Amino acid sequence: MSSDSLRGLLGRPVTMRTDGGSAAFMRKVWAVAAKDVRAELRAKEVASTMIVFGLLAVVIFGLAFDLRVPKSSMVVPGILWVIVLFAGVLGLHRSFGAEVDRDTLAGLLLAPVEPSAIYFGKLASNLLYLFLLELFVLPVMLVMFDTNLFQFHILLGLSLGTLGYAEVGTFFAALTANSRARESMLPVLLLPVMVPVFMAGVSLTAGILDGRPVSGLVSWLVILAVFDTIFFVAAYWIVDLIWDGI
Amino acid sequence: MATTTSLQSKRSDPWYGPLLTLDVLAGLAMVVAIWAGLLFAKDATNLAGDEQIAQRIFYFHMGCNITATLGFLLSVIGSVGYLVRRTLVWDRIAQTGVEVGTLFAFGIMITGSIWAKPTWNTYWTWDPRLTTATITILIYLAYMLFRNGMDNRHTRARFASIYALFAFISVPFTYYSARIFRSIHPIVFDGANADAQGSFSIGPSMGQTLIITITCFTILFLALFFHRWRQLSLEARIEDLKEELYQ
């Protein structure tokens, strides 16, 4: 190492490159997300656990309700959203928990990128895992409950709800990563805040399955979209505060 | 010997007298609130039987409501204050606000359920206001648990403040998503809810009683708030002294 670069390391802190505009920011986000997905492809601990848990939950709900409910479409909306929330929380805490366990969080934070880029990268990988989970769960639910959930508005609501869930979930995962008992703390923090998404999602899905006119159900989609937007902006503003003392 | 030391500590504590006065005032305020709610207020004009008796719990319901809101408002102010100023005084305000606010929020729940049984014929229903109140309580219970899980005081304060802000954004969403369903909760001040069941109108004596009980509950709130806040401040001082000792 040349003395010049050594002085560079010791004399001044590594400066963050904030130039390059949004394209450079997207590249940083992509780098973090790609790193996460690569680690996941090798370790196979997050997405696989979520999917297997999701399928298991479908079977358990199927056994629980099978002979007791006159029409399975009455319980399917609730089952779908409960599975997404519970399977999601199982994977979400790993996104920062794994970094803490392997002592790599400090390394990640030392990377010369904005904390928000780390957050959005993690958000992207978590979103991918959640969509993957839904990709497996929906067909199995079609078979188990004989209810077709592949309808445009249900899928749109599910996507919006999943986005909001990933936004808040990734944020809270970062928040709880350093606390004792983070595995049990995350659902306790996350689920009450997700109640609006859960209510809107269940009502929308139930309304579509009941064959009600879409015009009366648009307000649920609006709630989901506004929730996504506000928490997206809030997370972008506040995420820097999480790591500023570390 | 024990009495001497406790007397000495009483004398050396400048807050002992004022706090004791506040406690006595709060006790008297509760007596006044009970008198105003049960004896001073006149009967509602449009109710009879059990509903007529149950209606009087409204004054305590509103007293708890105002003080719980005050507590949660103080917690948001304390959280923002901490994130801007980074001094633990603000964090203690936030924590005290949450704890005392949650206590009164349980008061809202209990008084509301007692009133709802004769009026709505059920203790509980998934009405927007009830849903929002439940979720708010759950969020603030989670806040208290979350605080317990962290050892470093500044990390705890920062993370708890961030969570309080996020939680505060979520509450209006819960309210609006629940509101799309039809509400049966009375809106006493606007009288705008045509579907409300068990509604009643405010006469002059009811308005006066309401002002009296809300003032009394606010005094109780202040007493509890100062006690808890002071307790937390003393706790922080012990922590400081411990740190000094071990260094």
| Domain that includes residue B82, residue range | 25-245
CATH number of the domain where residue B70 is located: 1.20.120
Q: What is the average pLDDT value for chain A, to the nearest integer? A: 87
Beta carbons of A238 and B174 less than 8 Å apart: no
Under an 8 A CB cutoff, do B178 and A185 touch?
Answer: no
Q: Is residue B80 part of a domain?
A: yes
Cα→Cα distances B122→B112, B113, B114, B206, Å: 11, 8, 9, 25
For residue B1, the model assigns a pLDDT of: 43
- On whether the pTM is more than 0.90, the answer is no
Substitution target from A195, A228, A243 for chain B, most B beta carbons within 10 A? A195
A90 contact partners, CB below 8 Å, separation of at least 6: A49, A50, A53
Minimal C-alpha gap between B176 and chain A (Å): 8
Enumerate the residues of chain B whose CB falls inside 8 A of the CB of residue A179.
Answer: 146, 149-150, 159
B82 falls within a domain: yes
Cβ distance A199 to B178 less than 8 Å, yes or no, reads yes
Averaged pLDDT of chain B: 85
Q: Kindly give, in sequence order, each residue whose CB lies less than 8 Å from that of residue B208, ignoring residues fewer than 6 positions away.
A: B40
Domain contains B160: yes
Model confidence at A106, in pLDDT bands (50, 70, 90)?
confident
What are B203-220's pLDDT values in tens digits? 677 888 999 999 999 999
Note the pLDDT tens digit of each residue in B178-198: 777 545 566 555 445 555 666
Is A168 in Cβ contact with B166 (below 8 Å)?
yes
SS3 assignment for chain B = CHHHHHHHHHHHCCCHHHHHHHHHHHHHHHHHHHHHHHHHCCCCCCCCCHHHHHHHHHHHHHHHHHHHHHHHHHHHHHHHHHHHHCCHHHHHHHHHHHHHHHHHHHHHHHHHHHHHHHHHCCCCCCCHHHHHHHHHHHHHHHHHHHHHCCCCHHHHHHHHHHHHHHHHHHHHHHHHHHHCCCCCCCCCCCCCCCCCCCCCCCCHHHHHHHHHHHHHHHHHHHHHHHHHHHHHHHHHHHHHHHHHHHC
CA distance A243 to A174: 9
pLDDT (0 to 100) of residue B167: 84
- Report, as an integer, the average pLDDT of A31-57: 92
Q: How confident is the model at residue A205 (pLDDT cuts 50, 70, 90)?
A: very high
Residues 6+ apart with CB under 8 A from B241: none
Going from N- to C-terminal start, the domains of chain A cover 22-245
Chain centre to alpha carbon of residue A66: 30
Nearest to A74 by CA among A200, A210, A195: A210
Query: Is B94 among the domain residues?
Result: yes
Interface of B with A (CB under 8 A): 83, 131, 135, 138-139, 142, 145-146, 149-151, 154-155, 158-159, 162-163, 165-167, 169-170, 173-174, 176-178, 180
Q: Quick check: is B188 in a domain?
A: yes
For residue B115, being part of any structural domain is answered with yes
Between the alpha carbon of residue B80 and those of residues A9, B77, B208, the distances in Å are: 36, 5, 35
Nearest CB to A195 within list B158, B163, B174: B174
Give residue A58's pLDDT.
93
Q: Which residue of A has its CA nearest to B181?
A: A203
Residues of B within 8 A of A188 (CB-CB) are 142, 145-146
Q: Best interface-test mutation with B: which of A93, A165, A179 has the largest number of B CBs within 10 A?
A: A179
Q: Given this model, what pLDDT does residue B2 score?
A: 47
The chain A residues in contact with chain B (CB within 8 A) are 168, 171-172, 175-176, 178-182, 185, 188-189, 192-193, 195-196, 199-200, 203, 219-220, 223, 226-227, 230-231, 234, 238, 241-242, 244-245
pLDDT of residue A1: 44
Q: What is the pLDDT of residue A67?
A: 66
Tell me if B150 and A178 make a contact (CB, 8 A cut-off). Answer: yes
Residue with tokens 């996020």: B166
